[in-house]
Protein backbone atom coordinates (compact mmCIF):
# COMPACT_ATOMS: atom_id res chain seq x y z
CA UNK A 1 0.00 0.00 0.00
CA UNK A 2 1.30 3.44 -0.92
CA UNK A 3 1.98 5.73 2.02
CA UNK A 4 0.76 9.19 1.00
CA UNK A 5 2.86 10.82 3.72
CA UNK A 6 6.13 9.54 2.26
CA UNK A 7 6.78 12.30 -0.32
CA UNK A 8 5.94 15.06 2.15
CA UNK A 9 8.20 13.66 4.85
CA UNK A 10 10.99 13.02 2.35
CA UNK A 11 10.80 16.59 1.05
CA UNK A 12 10.94 17.94 4.61
CA UNK A 13 13.98 15.79 5.41
CA UNK A 14 15.77 16.82 2.22
CA UNK A 15 15.12 20.46 3.02
CA UNK A 16 16.44 19.90 6.55
CA UNK A 17 19.59 18.26 5.20
CA UNK A 18 20.13 21.23 2.92
CA UNK A 19 19.67 23.56 5.89
CA UNK A 20 22.42 21.79 7.85
CA UNK A 21 25.03 22.85 5.30
CA UNK A 22 26.76 26.04 6.59
CA UNK A 23 27.32 27.17 2.99
CA UNK A 24 23.56 27.31 2.36
CA UNK A 25 22.94 30.28 4.64
CA UNK A 26 22.96 29.78 8.40
CA UNK A 27 26.68 30.56 8.62
CA UNK A 28 26.10 33.88 6.85
CA UNK A 29 23.18 34.70 9.15
CA UNK A 30 25.37 34.06 12.19
CA UNK A 31 28.25 36.05 10.74
CA UNK A 32 25.97 38.96 10.02
CA UNK A 33 24.65 38.94 13.56
CA UNK A 34 28.16 38.82 15.01
CA UNK A 35 29.38 41.62 12.77
CA UNK A 36 26.48 43.92 13.63
CA UNK A 37 26.34 42.68 17.24
CA UNK A 38 22.59 42.37 16.88
CA UNK A 39 20.62 39.12 17.12
CA UNK A 40 17.90 40.73 15.03
CA UNK A 41 20.29 40.68 12.09
CA UNK A 42 20.31 36.87 12.31
CA UNK A 43 16.51 36.74 12.06
CA UNK A 44 16.38 39.34 9.28
CA UNK A 45 18.67 37.20 7.14
CA UNK A 46 16.43 34.13 7.33
CA UNK A 47 13.54 35.46 5.23
CA UNK A 48 15.61 36.33 2.13
CA UNK A 49 17.50 33.05 2.46
CA UNK A 50 14.24 31.08 2.43
CA UNK A 51 12.81 33.09 -0.47
CA UNK A 52 15.88 32.51 -2.62
CA UNK A 53 15.89 28.80 -1.79
CA UNK A 54 12.20 28.44 -2.68
CA UNK A 55 12.65 30.35 -5.95
CA UNK A 56 15.41 27.96 -7.02
CA UNK A 57 13.03 25.04 -6.58
CA UNK A 58 10.14 26.83 -8.30
CA UNK A 59 12.32 27.60 -11.32
CA UNK A 60 13.40 23.96 -11.58
CA UNK A 61 9.79 22.76 -11.40
CA UNK A 62 8.66 25.31 -14.02
CA UNK A 63 11.46 24.31 -16.38
CA UNK A 64 10.52 20.65 -15.96
CA UNK A 65 6.89 21.57 -16.63
CA UNK A 66 7.88 23.33 -19.84
CA UNK A 67 9.94 20.35 -20.97
CA UNK A 68 7.11 18.00 -20.03
CA UNK A 69 4.90 19.68 -22.59
CA UNK A 70 7.21 18.91 -25.50
CA UNK A 71 8.96 15.62 -24.70
CA UNK A 72 7.68 12.23 -23.48
CA UNK A 73 7.62 11.67 -19.74
CA UNK A 74 10.12 8.80 -20.00
CA UNK A 75 12.69 11.04 -21.67
CA UNK A 76 12.11 13.73 -19.08
CA UNK A 77 12.67 11.22 -16.28
CA UNK A 78 15.98 10.15 -17.81
CA UNK A 79 17.02 13.78 -18.28
CA UNK A 80 16.29 14.55 -14.62
CA UNK A 81 18.17 11.42 -13.55
CA UNK A 82 21.19 12.40 -15.66
CA UNK A 83 21.15 15.95 -14.26
CA UNK A 84 21.01 14.65 -10.68
CA UNK A 85 23.90 12.25 -11.21
CA UNK A 86 26.01 14.86 -13.03
CA UNK A 87 25.40 17.47 -10.31
CA UNK A 88 26.26 14.95 -7.61
CA UNK A 89 29.50 13.89 -9.30
CA UNK A 90 30.42 17.53 -9.83
CA UNK A 91 29.78 18.19 -6.15
CA UNK A 92 32.13 15.37 -5.15
CA UNK A 93 34.88 16.67 -7.42
CA UNK A 94 34.72 20.33 -6.47
CA UNK A 95 33.12 22.67 -3.96
CA UNK A 96 30.52 24.91 -5.56
CA UNK A 97 30.40 28.37 -4.02
CA UNK A 98 28.80 31.65 -5.02
CA UNK A 99 30.49 34.77 -3.68
CA UNK A 100 28.18 37.00 -1.65
CA UNK A 101 30.39 40.07 -1.68
CA UNK A 102 30.51 40.89 2.03
CA UNK A 103 28.12 40.90 4.97
CA UNK A 104 26.52 44.28 4.36
CA UNK A 105 24.07 43.34 1.65
CA UNK A 106 20.37 43.99 1.30
CA UNK A 107 17.52 41.51 1.28
CA UNK A 108 17.46 41.38 -2.53
CA UNK A 109 21.15 40.55 -2.80
CA UNK A 110 20.85 37.93 -0.08
CA UNK A 111 17.84 36.29 -1.75
CA UNK A 112 19.68 36.29 -5.08
CA UNK A 113 22.72 34.67 -3.47
CA UNK A 114 20.52 32.03 -1.82
CA UNK A 115 18.83 31.33 -5.16
CA UNK A 116 22.18 30.85 -6.91
CA UNK A 117 23.58 28.66 -4.13
CA UNK A 118 20.49 26.45 -4.01
CA UNK A 119 20.55 26.13 -7.80
CA UNK A 120 24.25 25.28 -7.83
CA UNK A 121 23.73 22.61 -5.17
CA UNK A 122 20.80 21.02 -7.01
CA UNK A 123 18.02 21.81 -4.54
CA UNK A 124 15.47 22.13 -7.34
CA UNK A 125 16.69 18.98 -9.05
CA UNK A 126 16.26 17.00 -5.85
CA UNK A 127 12.57 17.90 -5.73
CA UNK A 128 11.83 16.85 -9.32
CA UNK A 129 11.74 13.06 -8.73
CA UNK A 130 8.85 13.61 -6.30
CA UNK A 131 7.05 15.79 -8.83
CA UNK A 132 7.63 13.17 -11.51
CA UNK A 133 6.22 10.54 -9.19
CA UNK A 134 3.13 12.66 -8.57
CA UNK A 135 2.71 13.12 -12.29
CA UNK A 136 2.96 9.39 -12.93
CA UNK A 137 0.31 8.78 -10.29
CA UNK A 138 -1.95 11.29 -11.93
CA UNK A 139 -1.50 9.66 -15.31
CA UNK A 140 -2.46 6.27 -13.94
CA UNK A 141 -5.89 7.61 -13.04
CA UNK A 142 -6.53 9.29 -16.40
CA UNK A 143 -8.64 7.81 -19.22
CA UNK A 144 -6.72 5.91 -21.88
CA UNK A 145 -7.32 8.50 -24.60
CA UNK A 146 -5.49 11.11 -22.52
CA UNK A 147 -2.32 9.07 -22.13
CA UNK A 148 -0.67 10.76 -25.09
CA UNK A 149 -0.39 13.97 -23.03
CA UNK A 150 3.13 14.49 -21.68
CA UNK A 151 3.30 13.00 -18.21
CA UNK A 152 4.66 15.95 -16.26
CA UNK A 153 2.36 18.53 -17.78
CA UNK A 154 -0.68 16.42 -16.92
CA UNK A 155 0.53 15.48 -13.45
CA UNK A 156 1.36 19.00 -12.34
CA UNK A 157 -2.02 20.27 -13.43
CA UNK A 158 -3.95 17.86 -11.20
CA UNK A 159 -1.63 16.91 -8.32
CA UNK A 160 -0.95 19.38 -5.49
CA UNK A 161 2.53 17.95 -4.92
CA UNK A 162 3.87 19.79 -7.95
CA UNK A 163 2.74 23.08 -6.42
CA UNK A 164 3.48 22.49 -2.75
CA UNK A 165 6.78 20.60 -3.10
CA UNK A 166 8.85 23.83 -3.10
CA UNK A 167 7.02 25.03 0.02
CA UNK A 168 7.47 21.76 1.90
CA UNK A 169 11.16 21.50 1.02
CA UNK A 170 11.78 25.15 1.95
CA UNK A 171 9.94 24.70 5.25
CA UNK A 172 12.39 21.95 6.22
CA UNK A 173 15.31 24.07 5.06
CA UNK A 174 14.15 27.17 6.94
CA UNK A 175 13.41 25.32 10.19
CA UNK A 176 16.91 23.83 10.39
CA UNK A 177 18.64 26.96 9.12
CA UNK A 178 16.89 29.10 11.74
CA UNK A 179 17.55 26.63 14.54
CA UNK A 180 21.25 26.31 13.76
CA UNK A 181 21.72 30.04 13.25
CA UNK A 182 20.11 30.88 16.60
CA UNK A 183 21.86 28.12 18.56
CA UNK A 184 25.29 28.91 17.11
CA UNK A 185 24.85 32.67 17.59
CA UNK A 186 23.39 32.50 21.10
CA UNK A 187 25.13 29.47 22.59
CA UNK A 188 27.96 27.58 20.95
CA UNK A 189 29.72 30.06 18.65
CA UNK A 190 31.45 29.46 15.34
CA UNK A 191 34.11 27.32 17.01
CA UNK A 192 31.77 24.36 16.56
CA UNK A 193 32.76 24.29 12.89
CA UNK A 194 36.27 23.28 13.97
CA UNK A 195 35.19 20.86 16.69
CA UNK A 196 32.37 19.03 14.92
CA UNK A 197 33.03 19.29 11.20
CA UNK A 198 31.07 17.06 8.82
CA UNK A 199 31.51 17.16 5.06
CA UNK A 200 27.86 17.95 4.31
CA UNK A 201 28.68 18.75 0.69
CA UNK A 202 29.86 15.18 0.12
CA UNK A 203 26.75 13.77 1.82
CA UNK A 204 24.49 15.93 -0.33
CA UNK A 205 26.38 15.01 -3.50
CA UNK A 206 25.95 11.34 -2.64
CA UNK A 207 22.24 11.87 -2.07
CA UNK A 208 21.96 13.51 -5.50
CA UNK A 209 23.64 10.56 -7.18
CA UNK A 210 21.46 8.01 -5.37
CA UNK A 211 18.32 9.99 -6.26
CA UNK A 212 19.41 10.11 -9.88
CA UNK A 213 19.95 6.35 -10.01
CA UNK A 214 16.57 5.68 -8.36
CA UNK A 215 14.84 8.10 -10.73
CA UNK A 216 16.31 6.26 -13.71
CA UNK A 217 15.37 2.74 -12.62
CA UNK A 218 12.04 3.16 -10.79
Distance in angstroms (rounded) separating the CA atoms of residues 156 and 65: 7
Which pTM was predicted?
Answer: 0.76
Domain coordinates in residue numbering, the chain: 6-217
Tens-digit pLDDT profile for residues 181-203: 998 888 877 666 555 556 677 77
Angle among Cα 127, 215, 202 to the nearest 5 degrees reads 65
Other CB atoms within 10 Å distance of the CB of residue 16: 18
| Per-residue pLDDT at 36 exceeds 90 | no
In 3D, which of 100, 124, 126 has the Cα closest to residue 112?
A: 100
Residue 37 has pLDDT above 80, yes or no: yes
Neighbours of 105 (CB within 10 A): 17
Q: Which H or E run contains 33?
A: helix 26-36
Q: Tell me: the pLDDT tens digits for 94-115?
A: 766 555 555 567 788 888 988 9
**Which secondary-structure segment (H or E) carries 131?**
helix 123-140
- CA separation for the pair 218, 214 (Å, rounded): 6
Amino acid sequence: MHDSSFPWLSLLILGAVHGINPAMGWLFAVGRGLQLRDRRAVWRALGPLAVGHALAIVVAVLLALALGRVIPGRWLRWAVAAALIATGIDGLLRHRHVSLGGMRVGARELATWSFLMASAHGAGLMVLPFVLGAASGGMAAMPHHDHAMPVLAAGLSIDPLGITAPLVHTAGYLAVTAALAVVVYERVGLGILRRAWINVNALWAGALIVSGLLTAVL
